[in-house]
Structures are given as structure tokens and as C-alpha cells.
Amino acid sequence: MTRGRVVVIGGGVAGTAAALHCCDAGFEVTVLEARPRLGGVAGSFRRGERMIDTGQHVFLRCYSSYAALLRRLGVFDSVRIQPRFRVPVVAPGGRGWLLRRGRLPAPAHLLPALLGHRALTWRQRSAALRTALALRRLDPHDPALDEIGFAEWLRARREPERTVQVLWGMLIVAALNAEPRQVSLAMAVKVFRTGVLDTVTGGDIGIPQRPLGELHDFPARRALAAAGATVRLRAKALSVQQADQSLRVTVGTRGEEELDADAVVVAVPHAAAAKLLDPLALPEADRWSRLSSAPIVNVHVHYDRPVTDLEFAAAIDSPVQWVFDRTAAAGIDQGQYLVVSLSAAHEYLTARTKDLRERFLPALRDLFPRAHRAEVLDFFVTREPAATFLPKPGVRALRPETRTGVPGLVLAGAWTDTGWPDTLEGAVSSGHRAAEIVDLATSTDYRVAWR
């Protein structure tokens, strides 16, 4: 006996988490995924013999829901979380130093990181310390903070442009995929407080040691099958409509199939959700269709020999933002394979690969002088035009709740109102929240519970 039929549309990490949770709660679950694989934007593709990630991903120790998903998928041993927050910073001329946390209680654990930032003068470092303490006193849930820009707030505190660039910007561009001037103060507070200010260990960085497909695709298919779900790949949902007491999902390029369900979890990106749910004319869809997106571009370089000993690094005074050694993760045994991750990458999105080569190979040589002697075996670029939503001031009011006005219809995805930026953690927690609402709505009197 099942508790009812649930269709989950979208097999990214949000949809995977929602589907597993619904199976555990006793529902009969079907996952519809338009692509030939699960994992959504956190996935891999084949290039020759290799599995290549569409974009470098990292996570933090404070991502508890994401870590729980990896454990459920049986792949937690395929990621490595550093024992202590430690970010190597590299600068042109082969200069470099470490931003690391200490052993003192929060926030004093950050003293070595802030006071050791050699790109800043001592005066700038102590001002940055005061700014960190001020950020820690702000409440990320305060709606007023969502109306203010982070850069505007930093300016009001008289943080010099240099500190904004090489400290706050270096972290926020990677975490929020936007420049400090483009992000809401509330989102910045969420990132800094949850990530590095509130707890000693929360900001320790986790890095996948395998291609993302080996984390989020095959293991997810296996776990869903074991939990009793039906996973349908290359199955694009066209629309969701109300039908008597249930919801009807139309599937296939020409809508050749219809599936009836007691509940539908829509776990697709916001633009796709607006299209899918158009027949239902949800009033809240007007708001979320105003969410905008930002691109991430990754530049991939395979050298014939190692050019750096660092596993990853943040770069300053360089077009390179963050660079990762992915040699072992990609199973490459000759030379070194580096991935340069470029967030808020509007200027690179439409640039020709040839132009990016001319820009990034010299920049990498400036950072890693050993690259002068290395030959480039392969160079390619991956582009995600709508990688994340843009967390600009006012974004909170645009992000929808999980529950919609239509009984049985729930939303999931990193873009919903999770309190997190567009992250793996936000996505997975949105999936669980969606399943909880499905569970609640079908466990008591269905329609009463919905209201």
C-alpha cells in the first residue's frame, strides 16, 4: 500500500533529495528528468576518455543536508573536507600566502586569516577585522538587510576599494556568483556568518575527489532504484495542470503522455518552472519570473607537467579567480589538469575560446612560473549561462515558498526561498522541505492541511 503517487520533475540534487525523502515516507515516486543523466547543473560530461565537470564545485563543512545526501548515495568518501579552513592565495610573480583559521573559539579563529592577508596594509587588515565583527552582529533574516547592497554597506563603513577587491570580493564572487555591488547585504551576511564567522569549523572547504557525475548521477540512480522510485531520463515534462482531485503532468516533446499524481514536486530552474506551470496561472509566478541569472565559465588547461603543488588557490590581481588541480579527480596520469573557475563571468560568456586562451595562459604563467616551461596538451572552456540566480538586493521577496496555492503542487530548487544562496546545500534542503510538505498535505485531510 502506498500513501499516494508523487511525480518529481527535475533530477538535480533538489529533485533527488525530494524523491528519496518521498520514497522513505511511503509514496510511489516517479522522477522525470529531461537530460540523459541525474545531477542537474552539478554534473559531468564525457570528453574523450575523461569525465569532465561542467563546472568546478566546492562545498563547506556547514552544508549538513548536502553531506547527508552524499552519505545516503554512498559517496561521502569521494569528497575531501580539509581539516582546517585554509585558502592559499596566489598573486602574479609567483607570490603567495595562506589564509587559514586558527584554533581559538569563533570569531577569534579568523584572526590568522584576516591579519595574515598580505595584500592589505596593517591598517586595512585591522579595519577588515572590525567589519567582520560588524557582519557577525547582523541578522541574515532581517528583511531590511535584503534591500541594501553589500558594496554600499562596505562603502558606508569606509572599507577601501582594495579590501573590497582582495578580501570581501574574492570570497563573495565565488560564493554568490556576483560582485559585491550586485549582492544583497542579507545574502552576504548569510554567507559570511554561516560559512566562516559563527562557528570554527563551518567554513572548512570540501572538494569532490571524483567527477560530479560519479557523485550525483550513477549513485543517485542506484539509491532511487533501491528506494523504489522510477527514474525516467530524457523525459521532459511539458506542463502541470489540475485534474479533478489530482494533478496531471504532460510528458514528451509533443505531450504524448499524461501522468496523474496526488502531488507534484517541481524541482526545475525558475525559468523552466514558470513555463511548466503556466497553465495554472499561479499569481506568485510573476514574482519569481523576475529572478535574474548569472553565468559561470570554467577554463580547463591540461599541461604536460605539474606547474603547481597547490590543490586549489584563490588568485588576486589576476583575471584568474580560483584555480583547482583536478588531475587525480579526472583520472589523468600524465601532466597536470587545472580548472580556472570564473564566477560572475558575463565578460567571458560569449568570448571565443581562442581569446580566452590568449588571456588565461599568460595569467596562469604569471601565477605559476613553472608553467613557462610546460606545454599545453589541451585547452577548452565550459560555459553555464544561467548557473545561479543573481542574489541582488530585493531578491528575498522574489523567491517563492515551497508550498503553492494549488493543493499537491510544491516547488523545490536552489532558487526557492531556502535562506541559502544558490548552492548545493540550498538545493538539497529545498528538496527535503518539499517532501515534508507533500507528506503533511497527504497525511491529514488533504485540502484542509494545504490551506
Backbone dihedral angles phi then psi of residue 241, each to the nearest 5 degrees:
-135, 165
Comparing CB distances to ligand FAD, the nearer of 128 and 266 is: 266
Backbone dihedral angles phi then psi of residue 131, each to the nearest 5 degrees:
-65, -40
The residues that touch ligand FAD, with contacts defined as CB under 6 A, are 9-15, 32-35, 40-42, 54-55, 57-59, 236-237, 267-269, 272, 276, 296, 384, 387-388, 413-414, 422-424, 427
Query: Nearest CA to 85 among 107, 65, 67, 70?
Result: 107
Contact 207, 311 (CB under 8 A): yes
Using left for φ > 0, alpha for ψ between -120 and 50, and beta otherwise, residue 381 falls in beta
Q: Which residue has the cell 515558498?
A: 401
Comparing CB distances to ligand FAD, the nearer of 128 and 191 is: 191
CB of 329 to ligand FAD, least distance (A): 14
Comparing CB distances to ligand FAD, the nearer of 258 and 304 is: 258
Q: DSSP letters along 334-369, please?
A: SSEEEEEEESS-HHHHTS-HHHHHHHHHHHHHHH-G
Tell whether 161 is in a known binding site.
no
| Longest alpha-carbon distance in the chain | 71
CB of 41 to ligand FAD, least distance (A): 4
CB of 161 to ligand FAD, least distance (A): 26
Integer Cα distance of 346 and 339 in angstroms: 18
CB of 34 to ligand FAD, least distance (A): 4
CB of 184 to ligand FAD, least distance (A): 17
Query: Nearest CA to 192 among 85, 317, 46, 350?
Result: 85
Is 92 exposed, middle or buried (CB count within 10 Å of its CB: 0-12, 13-18, 19+)?
middle
Tell whether 34 is in a known binding site.
yes
Comparing CB distances to ligand FAD, the nearer of 91 and 411 is: 411
Contact 106, 359 (CB under 8 A): no
- Grid cell of 119 as nine digits: 595584500
CB of 174 to ligand FAD, least distance (A): 7
CB of 73 to ligand FAD, least distance (A): 14
Comparing CB distances to ligand FAD, the nearer of 196 and 424 is: 424
Q: How many other C-beta atoms lie within 10 A of the C-beta of residue 225? A: 11
Integer Cα distance of 349 and 361 in angstroms: 17
Comparing CB distances to ligand FAD, the nearer of 101 and 216 is: 216
| Per-state percent for the chain, helix, strand, coil, to nearest 5 | 40, 25, 35
Comparing CB distances to ligand FAD, the nearer of 21 and 125 is: 21
The binding site for FAD consists of 33-34
